[in-house]
Amino acid sequence: MDFIVKANLKRGDNYSLLKLAPVKGNMPQVKPGQFVQVEVPNSKSTYLRRPISINYADSHELWLLVRRAGAGTASLCNAPESSVLSVVLPLGNGFTTDVKGTALLIGGGVGTAPLLMLGSRLAAHGVDVHFLLGARSMGDLLQLDLFRQTAEVHVATEDGSLGHKGLVTTHPVLRNENITHIACCGPMPMMKAVAAIARERGINCEVSLENMMACGLGACLCCVEDTKDEGNVCVCTEGPVFNINRLKW
Amino acid sequence: MVDLSVKIGSLTLKNPVMTASGTFGYGEEFADFIDLSRLGGIIVKGTTLNPRQGNPYPRMAETPSGMLNAVGLQNKGVEYFASNIYPRIKDLDTRVIVNVSGASIDDYVGVCERLQGLDKVAAIEVNISCPNVKQGGMSFGTTCDGCESVVSAVRKAWDRTMIVKLTPNVTDITEIARAAEAAGADAVSLTNTFLGMAIDVERQRPCLSTITGGLSGACIRPIAVRMVWQVANAVKVPVVGLGGIMNGRDAVEFMLAGATAVQIGTANFIDPQVTVKAVEYIEDYMKRHGITSCAELTGAMKV
């Protein structure tokens, strides 16, 4: 599906928020936690599409929050307004939205992106939503205003420039005994540490993996994760969101 | 009117565009993007006698104009294919071709015996060229004796069309192609991936869990075109060309070099509709050049 870049908003030195609209027709229905595969425009050194999580979507708009990590994402971050991007969507399973009680949505770095939509969906269903957002520094915390409009926000920065000083896993909100559900997206060490805490406390926990992908459609079998029930499964089709009980970590 | 149909042994395809094994799943994965009945054939994922978990993650590394993979033939085995996947795809209005792999000759024969009972499997592609498995795989495809022993054993167990998929990781691919032809292959397909390797220089570690893997994508195309040309001049059986085809133009290039049909692989990851676009391109190309049948295109390069 072709999308036109309506706006490309720089966020700090390393991030761009791309606001896209379909060239023709409406956006398909999207679940929080699903992702897209974007063709990289005008790139000499990359070959494959880039999987990017969906930050926000409605019937006529799609937001992608892109971190400049390599040549492909750098090219996406520089996509000019009015240019056209080829996007395959929606892909993957998404987060569970059938949640009751208190949900803690934990995001690290650009991993916060899919939690915004999840939080607003859960809040609309009457779930008590808390965000716990972590980053190296204040400048890496993105969309704080939107998160704050959606639910209560807790912040951890490694340098202490905003909120709790330290990793998200040391934030006092994790000791809130009312938490019944955790959804987490961020760097692998963070997700593993959160999963260990959830397991210890007996809290239902989902994580969103970002294994390297080629096709995004379950055909190439490159992005596999080892599971307890079925061995290697594709993160692109069986995930990217997994309940930690399925994973071997 | 142009006639897009091609013949591979006794098998007729409605057009020369097939999907390469391991890049198109079982076809169903792409049903949201294209009308599968517009394909000449679907070559399904490499199938082995017993289920295989494949290699550990990471299995993929992007490279200049291509990618390395080290999937290692992950599949649920031929019995699972026969009872669970075949019923869902057998009535597709295209040719279903099963890629057959094994660690031993008995494995290949066992898979073929199970497939023999599935009427809608139009052909098999015997994979003697997978670079990512410890036993079997490419080792059968790198010597004439190895190739001959697998192909002649499979020939006894399979009476429909047999395509033998060759590895490019040999000194002279024409020798292996001749051995396959002599042992009873109805066609050869080439090339499978090129053995390659990439290193994460910051971490000083290999990009793939298996250290080496198979290189595919546009970067291999000129080498694959050269090999198809060489093999087409060395054997009488049809040659199926593949290796870095990104669009219809590239497909025509392989046919001009001597391919009767083509397979599109890695390009499916970048454009899920590439196969159907290639069919349209070939039809238009033939009209523009006053060519009425695909057979006229095969080996039509002028020198």
Integer Cα distance of B2 and B284 in angstroms: 9
Are the Cβ atoms of B69 and A213 closer than 8 angstroms? no
Instruction: Indicate if A176 and A140 belong to the same structural domain.
Output: yes
> Does the residue A96 lie in any domain?
no
Q: With pLDDT > 90 as the criterion, what percentage of chain B qualifies?
A: 96
Does B207 participate in catalysis according to the annotation?
no
Hey, what are B176's tokens? 């292996």
Q: Give domain status of residue A229, yes or no.
A: yes
- Best to test chain A binding among B19, B47, B60 (most A CBs inside 10 Å): B60
Are both A123 and A63 inside the same structural domain?
Answer: no
Write out pLDDT tens, residues B178-194.
Answer: 999 999 999 999 999 99
Residue of B nearest to A217 (CA): B29
| Domain CATH number, residue A84 | 2.40.30.10
Across the interface, whether the CB atoms of A213 and B65 are under 8 A apart is answered no
* DSSP secondary structure, B168-216, as one string: S-SS-HHHHHHHHHHTT-SEEEE--PEEEE-EETTTTEESSTTSEEEEE
Across chain A, mean pLDDT equals: 96
Q: How far is CA B158 from the centre of its chain?
A: 18
Q: Is residue A131 part of a domain?
A: yes
Using CA coordinates, name the residue in chain A closest to B44.
Answer: A219
Per-residue confidence (pLDDT) for residue A44, from 0 to 100: 82
**Which pLDDT tens digit goes with each residue over A51-109?**
999 999 999 999 999 999 999 999 999 999 999 999 999 999 999 999 999 999 999 99
A196 shares a domain with A214: no
A9 and A71 together in one domain: yes
Q: At residue B137, does pLDDT exceed 80?
A: no
Q: Is the ipTM of this complex over 0.90?
A: yes
3-state secondary structure B227-247: HHHHHHCCCCCCEEECCCCCC
Domains and CATH numbers, chain B: 6-54+71-194+215-297 (3.20.20.70)
Q: Which residues of A touch B56 (CB under 8 A)?
A: 226
At residue B133, the pLDDT reads 80
- Judge if A224 and A179 occupy the same domain: no
Total domain count, chain A:
3
For chain B, give the mean pLDDT. 97
Nearest to B198 by CA among B55, B40, B69: B69
Identify any residues that bridge with A204 across adjacent strands, giving them in sequence order: A181
On the question of pLDDT at B160 being above 80, the answer is: yes
d(CA A57, CA A22): 11
Same domain, A229 and A145: no
**Does residue A110 sit in the same domain as residue A196?**
yes
Q: What is the span of the domain harbouring residue A38?
A: 2-91
Average pLDDT over residues A173-186: 96
Mean pLDDT value of segment B225-248:
98
Q: Which residue among A86, A215, A224 sits closest to B59, beta carbon to beta carbon?
A: A224
Is residue A115 domain-shared with residue A196, that is, in the same domain? Answer: yes
The chain B residues in contact with chain A (CB within 8 A) are 22-25, 29-30, 33, 45, 53-54, 56-67, 69, 71, 74, 217-218, 266, 268-272
Residue corresponding to tokens 């292959």: B185
Interface with chain B: mutation pick from A46, A47, A209, highest number of B CBs within 10 Å: A47
- CATH at A238: 2.10.240.10
- pLDDT over 80 (residue B136): no
* CA distance to A88, A221, B199, per residue, from A71 (Å): 20, 24, 17
Q: Residue A78 falls within a domain, yes or no?
A: yes
What order of strands is seen across the sheet that includes strand B212-216?
Answer: B60-63, B66-69, B212-216, B194-197
| pLDDT greater than 80 at residue B177 | yes
